[in-house]
Structure 1
Amino acid sequence: MLNIMIADDEEFIRLGLEKILTKMDLDIKVIGSYSNGMDAWAQISKLSEGELDVLITDIKMPMMDGLRLIEHLRDKSIDTIVLSGFSEFEYARKALRSGVRDYLLKPVDKANLYDILVKIEQERSENGQTSESAVSAPAQETISKEKEHHVIEQMKTILEQEYGKNFEMERIADTVGMSANYLSRLFKQETGMTLTDYLIDIRIEKAKQFLSDHPNLKNYEISQLVGYSDPVYFNKLFKKMVGETPKDYKAKHH
């Protein structure tokens, strides 16, 4: 389990983050939410080693800002994620030099936050730093593979069925309940191919079927049927993948 604390002087950001975190399919517990660095530090200083895994903190806060709060954490094994606006970019760079794990621009991108937390969770599991739930981790991990395998198969089915539609990564990621970035990496890891390359393979195979089975179809019609609105691009891609133009392929296989 990852124990997380939030420090931000804007209440709607704190509440928004809590909502985002509780909806993630990760073993997460928000153990505190504070409006300034001083209150956050007062609570952190009471905690034992290992009771807090991740601090998500704003840069600019009253009483004690994010940079000073981070300074207090130097001797603790707490991963820190800094939140900042565009105008605070220089502050964020200083924070990164202070050993901060990562920083996120506001408004927070859910997919980026998810990816950072997944990385932290994996590293802490490998280093044996996770809290009391670490004992049951192997069993959970195995079930989660099963889940990952199921998701990849689901993705393949979606691509097989929707190869002719406009490819919208975010929509497909939502369908399978994962972030787009995480899903892309998982797909490459499991299949050895990027999602884009896999989709191109499907589309070209479908195009070959149309060319040989439906010779009356025009090239631009086949191009649109397999998801490419630009027939010139389709021709170039087909030649690159197959080694001959759609016209030549049709002549040979009709």
Structure 2
Amino acid sequence: MVNIVVVDDEERIRQGLAKLIAQAGEQYKIIGIFASGMELLTQIDELAVDLVITDIKMPMMNGLELIERLKERSPNLKVAIVSGFDDFTFARQALRFGVEEYLLKPVDKAELDYLLRKVSDSLAEEREKKHALQEDQMGLLLFNEAELLPKHLRLEAGKALELTPLFSEPYAVYVIRGTLPSPDAMMEAATSGWLSNWKLLKGDDSLALIVGMNSTDHAERVHEIGQTLAHRLPPSFDGRIGGSDVFRGSSWLREAYRQAEHAMQFAWYESGRRSFVDYSHLTKKQPSGSHMIVLLDREFQEAMTMSDFARAQESIAKWFRTCKEDKPQWSELRESCETVLAFIHRSGAAKVGDAGVSKQAVTVCDPHRYLDFEAFSKFFLGEVEGLFRILQEVRQENRVIETVKTYIIQHFTEELELNRLAEEVYLTPSYLSKLFKTETGETITDFLISVRIDRAKELLRDRIALKTYEIGEKVGYADPAYFNKVFKKVVGCTPKEYRDRVR
């Protein structure tokens, strides 16, 4: 709607303009018709006027003088001139005052329609910019800690917001997190008919709804609005809503948001597709993350010491159920869960003797990524299960390698075949060969050679009476030449040279 005032000392012109404006469309509304500029000025403060259309040639105060007085009061007021004089001097002065149009009498309907559309579009653009600026100012105070904002920006935003209808009365903030693909449209539908004074802002992964309250509203009204909102959001909505206390003044926006976020995180632990919690109903003292870890260590340490991974996993599941009951804030939950995973890494790696396990990057346990605690629980306990499965597999593989090594040490004088070793540990030859190389860094053949050569070195040093070829036979090399070749490759000298050196 464009509110219009007409000023002309000729009644016929005044009424004619009013009639043409009425014919232009319902969005144009005449809110005042005046015979002089002085008459308008006495009432201008009581009128919510968007456009003044005035004659230039009028007694006592001409149109240009009226425009100057109007612009002093309201620099952004839209003004157009109607005159019977096609005078460039008037036009130039009018342009200096920033008039929208200079229309000649008799007024052409097409030119008037053009003026009205131009003003309407300009006002819509200004309103859009104003709303965008207000939204930016709200977001600035809502999503940022006050001490981190430049003082002049904080004061400027607060001063501007205090003049808006939303902050002329008390208000509460609601944080909404969940599946809302078209938040503006869905909120319009959900609030239609019962909630009118509100503003929706979009955060990184949630929505902040600022709702204007009556001066007599209190915490129960916050609860009532939150419950109604949770009920009226579309059936497709899965999520959580948290509500703040009632505040007055934009300087409390950040605190209101903090309370609503706190309450929403509390609601995040509740079962069901949607739930609402308001800050005033949070009475349970929540434990710190360090206390949560202590609760786990008492039972978990013993299970890990015994290498009872199944029991250790159950102790974590039990501890995690306690987390749901305690409902810690997300930062504490994240810290605790990441500490648990890191603890499994370190303890498990020490037990299975695999340093590579401890070097794996610990998964980030960020509750922000999950719609509710149930979804987060599936993720976290799945990570725990997967990690213990890896530790168990590594432990079993280590046992396989130790079994193979022991067998080789006990039978190194024999002609050992890969198939025979694989049968001992119930693996395929190819898998055993690959596993041994991966876990030890050397092949089975290399390990067998090292065992044989180490034993040969002992015999060369301690059994002086034995010939070198006899030592070769005792460690599994029937061919003296081949024994000499292998020994020299490993040790760097022949068996005879080695014996001479160590004697």
- The alignment's TM-score, normalised by the length of structure 2, stands at 0.24
Give the structure with higher Rg (CA): 2
Larger relative contact order (CA 8 Å, sep ≥ 6): 1
